[in-house]
Chains A and B, each alone.
Chain A
Amino acid sequence: MEKQIVIDVSHIYKSFGNNHVLKDFTMQVKRGENIAVLGKSGSGKSVLIKCIIRLNEPDKGNIKLLNTDVLTLDHEGLDELRSRVGFLFQSNALYDSMTVRENLEFPLRRHRIKDEMTHEFVEGRVMEALSNVGLAHTIDMMPAELSGGMRKRIALARTLILKPDIILYDEPTTGLDPITSREISELINSIQQKYQTTSIIISHDMSCIKTTADRIIMLIDGRCYAEDSFEELQNSMDEKIRLFFD
């Protein structure tokens, strides 16, 4: 049986004033796939995944997530859908004024307000997410007290706390040393295997892409310039692609 398509982005356009960032971008991701999006700084990678959960509003085009049309959803529908999608922000976006525990509880308490959210359930989820990233001891610390790599891992734990079907990673390893970034890449892989998530990983970090991605999409000039496996692209003769691999 053909695997189901869970992320379907078709022909989207997005510009800011005269800056045309996305021009007729199309991509599809099947259930359980790990896709990497590769592109220069400023090519619109963050804009693209923000469009997917409608943090940015595309000017034109269609986006379907888990068979739901994202761009026509009302508020409740959008919140419902967003609770099934995890987003790891480029700058981590940990809430500075809250402890690690409160940071992790925030999406839980906010999304599932009517469910039977017992204290034990929340506590269990928080501990599970923290031990997934190996940072259970930081639970009562403030984000400012953590190192950059630890913050990234806490942000990852917060992304996982709702057990999302889809995870969007915005440069998960940028700004980290090679060892830590390898740890994060392995963490992404283990999460993928444990929870069977579908994910899009944005990165310029070749070793991260190589370990995590099943397929690579090259975002060049606002559109999907090429898509293939790591090995195929590595051996490509196209000049624009070669730039990334040399």
Chain B
Amino acid sequence: MSDFGKSILEQTGELTRFAMRFFSQGLKPRYEWKEFLRQCYWIGYKSLTLVAITAFIMGLVLTIQSRPTLVEFGAEAMLPSMVSVSLIREISPVITALICAGKIGSGMGAELGSMRVTEQIDAMEVSGTNPFKYLVVTRIAAATLMLPILVNLSNAISLYGSFLGVNIRGNVSWSLYWIQVYDVLSFGDLVPSLIKTFFFGFAIGLVGCFKGYYSKKGTEGVGRSANEAVVVASLLVFIIDLLAVQITDLLGLT
């Protein structure tokens, strides 16, 4: 087997072990609530502006881009319904997750990486603290919890963006727009897409922490950790998305 293939298998194995360790250690007491809340604040609050701006632009642009095709079929009135379904089901969760993979994943990779390199992780260990619990468990848990919240927010804001997009060329009243949107959206659209965002959050936190926690010595190692965290987390987001669509399809939720 090629080196590349071998290293992918190896990494998958190590990542799985890391995830198991998260569950086995995270469930045992001495919970680090304070650090967990601090991480929720950093991950959630600090990504808010970025997520909001991209969500708005995403809704707006997608609407403007979709109009010509619908006009061709004489189905211009379908615009709000069509756009909102694509936004809620796919585009808003995935784009938000990718942004978070870039922002949160690289942040964790760099932060934990530099803590590893400058022996801060060792220092915690000799100070009566389990660094895995204090640093890794809290971060993964916070990312898993915060990502769905960010995606929900992104869903809402992207629909506002879409309303603006609809009204640039056309004329749909505020109430009519929302009636059309709510008419077409069902639980089958929202719930599976929300469930998968928990997995997105988990994957981003897991990869970011994994890459940082096992960072190689030296400042170069820190840069590489941050970089690899983003690449692998983004890839995982797509893989999870692919699995999620298969599962919802099998369950007949589409």
* In the assembled complex, A111 has its CB within 8 A of some CB on chain B: yes
Which chain A residue has the least Cβ–Cβ distance from B42? A97
Q: Which residues of A contact B124 (CB under 8 A)?
A: 106
State whether A85 touches B129 (Cβ < 8 A). Answer: no
* In the assembled complex, A175 has its CB within 8 A of some CB on chain B: no
* In the assembled complex, B125 has its CB within 8 A of some CB on chain A: yes
Given the known interface contacts A91-B118, A92-B118, the answer about A111 and B123 at a Cβ–Cβ threshold of 8 Å is: no
Q: Which residues of A contact B123 (CB under 8 A)?
A: 87, 89, 93, 95
Interface size on A, residues (CB 8 A): 22
State whether A82 touches B128 (Cβ < 8 A). Answer: yes
* In the assembled complex, B1 has its CB within 8 A of some CB on chain A: no
Interface size on B, residues (CB 8 A): 15
* In the assembled complex, A96 has its CB within 8 A of some CB on chain B: yes
Residue from A55, A82, A94 in contact with B120 in the complex, judged by beta carbons closer than 8 Å: A94
- Report how far A91 CA is from B115 CA in the complex, Å: 11
Residue picked from B117, B126, B129, most chain A C-beta under 10 Å? B126
State whether A95 touches B120 (Cβ < 8 A). Answer: yes
What is the distance, in angstroms, from A47's C-beta to the closest C-beta of chain B? Answer: 12
* In the assembled complex, B119 has its CB within 8 A of some CB on chain A: yes
State whether B128 touches A93 (Cβ < 8 A). Answer: no
1/0 contact string of B4-30 vs chain A (CB within 8 Å): 000000000000000000000000000
State whether A93 touches B118 (Cβ < 8 A). Answer: yes
State whether A53 touches B118 (Cβ < 8 A). Answer: no
- Report how far A79 CA is from B128 CA in the complex, Å: 5
State whether A89 touches B127 (Cβ < 8 A). Answer: no
State whether A53 touches B120 (Cβ < 8 A). Answer: no
Main secondary structure of the interface of A (DSSP, over half): loop
State whether B126 touches A85 (Cβ < 8 A). Answer: yes
State whether A110 touches B127 (Cβ < 8 A). Answer: yes
Which chain A residue has the least Cβ–Cβ distance from B127? A107
Q: Which residues of B contact A212 (CB under 8 A)?
A: none
Which chain B residue has the least Cβ–Cβ distance from A85? B126
* In the assembled complex, B114 has its CB within 8 A of some CB on chain A: yes
Which chain B residue has the least Cβ–Cβ distance from A79? B128
State whether B119 touches A90 (Cβ < 8 A). Answer: yes
Q: Which residues of B contact A95 (CB under 8 A)?
A: 115, 120, 123
B 82-136 contacts with A by CB, 8 A = 111, 114-115, 117-120, 122-129
A 68-113 contacts with B by CB, 8 A = 79, 82-83, 85, 87, 89-97, 106-107, 110-111, 113
State whether A110 touches B129 (Cβ < 8 A). Answer: yes
What is the distance, in angstroms, from B137's C-beta to the closest C-beta of chain A? Answer: 16
- Report how far A95 CA is from B123 CA in the complex, Å: 9
Main secondary structure of the interface of B (DSSP, over half): helix
What is the distance, in angstroms, from A15's C-beta to the closest C-beta of chain B? Answer: 17
1/0 contact string of B23-62 vs chain A (CB within 8 Å): 0000000000000000000000000000000000000000
- Report how far A55 CA is from B128 CA in the complex, Å: 12
- Report how far A215 CA is from B180 CA in the complex, Å: 84
State whether B118 touches A55 (Cβ < 8 A). Answer: no
Q: Which residues of B contact A82 (CB under 8 A)?
A: 126-128
- Report how far A79 CA is from B127 CA in the complex, Å: 8
State whether B127 touches A96 (Cβ < 8 A). Answer: no
B 221-252 contacts with A by CB, 8 A = none
* In the assembled complex, A30 has its CB within 8 A of some CB on chain B: no
- Report how far A92 CA is from B119 CA in the complex, Å: 8
Given the known interface contacts A90-B119, A96-B114, A96-B120, the answer about A55 and B126 at a Cβ–Cβ threshold of 8 Å is: yes
State whether A93 touches B129 (Cβ < 8 A). Answer: no
Q: Which residues of A contact B118 (CB under 8 A)?
A: 91-93, 96
Which chain B residue has the least Cβ–Cβ distance from A50? B122
A 104-137 contacts with B by CB, 8 A = 106-107, 110-111, 113
Interface positions of B (Cβ within 8 A of A): 111, 114-115, 117-120, 122-129
Interface positions of A (Cβ within 8 A of B): 50, 53, 55, 79, 82-83, 85, 87, 89-97, 106-107, 110-111, 113
Query: What are 30 A-B interface contacts by the 8 Å CB criterion?
Result: A55-B125, A55-B126, A79-B128, A82-B126, A83-B128, A87-B123, A89-B119, A89-B122, A89-B123, A90-B119, A91-B117, A91-B119, A92-B118, A92-B119, A93-B118, A93-B120, A93-B123, A95-B123, A96-B114, A96-B115, A96-B120, A97-B111, A106-B124, A107-B127, A107-B128, A110-B128, A110-B129, A111-B127, A111-B128, A113-B128
